[in-house]
Structures are given as structure tokens and as C-alpha cells.
Amino acid sequence: MNKQAFILLTMAAALFSCAPKEPTDLTQNTVIPKPVLVTATGNSFQLNDETGIFVNRDELSSTAAYLSEKLNPATGFELAVQTADEAPTSGIFLTLGHDPELGDEGYELLIDKKLLTVRANQPAGIFRGIQTIRQLLPAAIENKTVQEMDWTIPTGTIRDFPEYEYRGTMLDVARHFLGVDDVKHYLDLMAYYKFNVMHLHLSDDQGWRIEIKSWPKLTEIGGSTEVGGGEGGFFTQEQYTELVNYAAERFITIVPEIDMPGHTNAALASYPELNCDGKAPELYTGTEVGFSTLCTDKEITYQFVDDVIRELAEITPGPYIHIGGDESHVTKLEDYIPFIERVQDIVYSYEKTMIGWDEVTLAKLDQRSIAQYWASAENAKNAVDQGVKVIMSPAAKAYLDMQYDSISPLGLHWAGYIEVDTGYNWDPATYNESIGRENILGIEAPLWTETVTNRSDMEYLVFPRLAGYAEIGWSPANGRNWDDYKLRLSSHGNIYDSWGINYYRSTRVPWQE
């Protein structure tokens, strides 16, 4: 190369390096749930190996470490966590303050060229804001190996807070047992989309899945099988506590459910004295419902319930105990009503709040109790008339175990087919004319596991619909629409691929390749 050519190349390189970068637009993000308010300033914040993570409270150190851990695999950066009383000049700053509009879970992201600040009133808000940071970075941030690329986020401001205080999913581990690692995996996926409740369905006709030390045969006998005759399984109380703590680190509350007086064959097979005839039925591995009931006339039944609720309450720091109450078809109404009312008193005697499926509204409920609407509009009206808050889980819209379409390999369709757009396109506040916004505590998407035998099956039915339920629970209804949502969702397929999860590639979503 001659001297003149070298000079020209050097000048061109200099001009190129000084050229202004293309402007960015934070409003064109793919964040799910959709943030409440986004403004853009047109520059970029760049994450690099010198970026520090700073906290102004010691209580944020574990959350900061979580962020560093999530960013490390794809970037290779070891982002050190440090304490700073005041905002640093550069890096990522997690700080607690006082902003009434944000509530307990809201957050504000202030993204400048050198400093990214996450502000919130509570550590839960900081954690929710971190999930948004993960989604603002290139999708490759979710890879498990180092990716050579620039890690930039458009500058601007995001103010964000949830529409509903209760945003949950339910995992049925009774029909088919899913173990500790599977539940932790689900909790991680939930955390990414800002869920704050996991409802664990721990007992049913086919299996009893939580150790009760005062009634050991519940797991010894009742936990020994599952749908189809598999070996079943159960959580020891120590394993359950491990799950509770793992969830709490992600600001997710575990709600345990013991279904009663129906859906109790596993318990009845374990302890004959809970049956009216004193005889133990055979263990059950089918999928029909409504044939079992505790003997509501026996005092031993209430001692059993008291012991179960007491032991569960001792290992459940969250405020809720779910008593089921659904599909108890062989329990006479005159027996069902006093049973629910007495069990409700037992729950409150251990300073927990009772939740039940919508059938419990046939009884007189304490106004602190919560009804979970899944099937009956009349029952939902009963809840509202009693001044009881409602969790919205209408089966035709929110049941994750419903098939996507008639050729889906997994799931059922008794409540209909729920394609991705069907699961997204509804508003809890207008779904039922008897239930107004003021009556609703939140939303929950249940996954029943009649057809789910392993983690891959679970993932397929959950994704991508879970993201839509997250948005329904978090984002204002007037800012949601399918055409916008499907485009944001389309980029999340790459994230699911990075996670290595099994998901349904709906033809109604224009997935990015």
C-alpha cells in the first residue's frame, strides 16, 4: 500500500468513527408486559466489562447479584456489585425511594448514555425493573454462551406499575407429579414476565403431593401414584420450604391448595376413617372428576383438615391457603355449605386468608375470603354480592391445559380451544357483567396436568400463552391490542430458543427467525 492510500484509509476510518450513531427509539421496544409509560431520548447506554452495579441499600445486594448472574453468560462480563450512597457517574444504579404512583411493585428506569438507574419503592419493584432491562437488551442476552456483540439499550425513561395486585399461574402437581427442579424452572420463567403468585395444586384424586407429618400415610399411600399409573411422588416439607424460599427470592408468593371435600380420593385411600363407610377406596389413576368426598359428618374429618392446614400454615409465609371446593358433585349441598364454612374458620384460626374455587360462594363467606372464578357466572355474582374479591380464571380464556387447536398433541378442549390470540384478547374487568374492576383481586392462568407428564409438556402448553396472561395482569387494558402484542411476542421466540424450552409456534404470530 502506498503512502497516499494509507492516509486516505486512515482519514476514512477517522471520519467513520466520528460519524453520529443511528438514533435509537426506546418506545419501539419488545417488552412484555407492555410498560405503562415510555419516553425516548435517542441515544444509547452500553453495557461493557467495566460496568458496575451499584446499590444504595444492603437489602438490594441479592437482587443486584441476580442481575449480574443473568447478564454474565452471554456477555462474559463479571459485573461487580458495590454499595453507593449516591448515584455513580456511570454503571447501573439500583435505588429505593418514595414514589406513591409506583406502589410496591412498580419501578422507573432512567436510561442515560452512561448511567442506567432503576428506582422503586420496594425491592420487588427493583426486581420487576430488572426483567425489563433483560428484555431491552438484544435477545442474545439470554444465550448461555458468550456472544460477541454490542450490548446496548436505547436511552429514555420507563415508568411502570401493575394493573392488578395478584398475577398468578397455577401448576397442578397432583395429576402428574412435577418435582422440585421443574417447579423452580417454572418460577424462573414466571419471574421473567413479572408474575407474583404461584398456586400449587397439591392434592387430588390421583395423588397427595405434600408431606403432612401428623398424617404420614397421605404421601406414603396417596402420593404413590398418578394419572396413568406412574409412580407419583411428593414434596417433603423441607423441599416445599426450598420452593417457597426460591420463589420469595423472585418476589413470588406460593399459594398451596388442598382440594376438599371433593377431589380427595388419594386422602380417602390413605385413611379409611375419612370415609363415611370407614373403608378405603382403591387408588385412582383416571381423569374423571366429582366422585369423591370427605365424610362431612365425622369429627375426625375436621381434625384431619385442621392438622393439614396447621402444618401448611407453618411452612407457608404467604397470606393464602387455597381449599379448592370445586366439583364436589357427590357431596350434598346441605353438607357442602357447613363444611366450607367450618373449614374457612379453620383457615382463619391459623391467620391465613382463604381462597376457593367459585363453588365456595354457595356458602357464607368471610369478606376477607377470595373466590376464584373458573366456570359459573352465578357463583361469581354470589361472590360480588357477599363483598368477596375475585380472582379471574375463566376456563374458556385462561386455562393453560386447553388445546391450541384440534390437532394439538397435548391438552384437553372441554372449555374450548385457546389459540394465542384467544388467550390474549379479553379483559378481566369486562368479561362478566357481574364482576366489575373493583371486585377483582387479579388474574390466574391454571395448568392442569392430565396430559402433562414432564417438563417439556408443561412448557409446550404454557408458552407462549403465559406471556399474554402476564400482560393482561400487568398492563392497562386501554393500551393493549393484539396487533401490537403479536409483534412484540414474535421476538420472544428467539428468547425461548435460547432458553431451550419447548413452545408452540402459533401461525398467528409472525415469529422472527
Catalytic annotation, residues: 327
C-alpha span between 423 and 421 (Å, rounded): 5
E-strand stretches of 32-100: 37-47, 53-55, 81-83, 91-96
Question: For residue 271, which of 325, 319, 318, 308 has the smallest C-alpha distance?
Answer: 308
3-state secondary structure 372-398: EECCCHHHHHHHHHCCCEEEECCHHHH
C-alpha span between 462 and 188 (Å, rounded): 13
E-strand stretches of 173-287: 197-201, 203-204, 207-208, 253-260
Give the containing element (helix H, strand E) for 412.
none
Q: Any residues with CB less than 8 A from the CB of 129 and at least 6 apart, and which?
A: 107, 108, 109, 118, 119, 120, 160
Contact 194, 162 (CB under 8 A): yes
* Start-end of H helices in 35-92: 61-75
5 φ, ψ to 5°?
A: -65, -40
Amino acid in position 22: E
Report residue 430 as a C-alpha cell.
Answer: 369486562
Angle between helices 299-315 and 237-249 (to 10 degrees): 50
Question: For residue 489, which of 473, 474, 470 has the smallest C-alpha distance?
Answer: 470
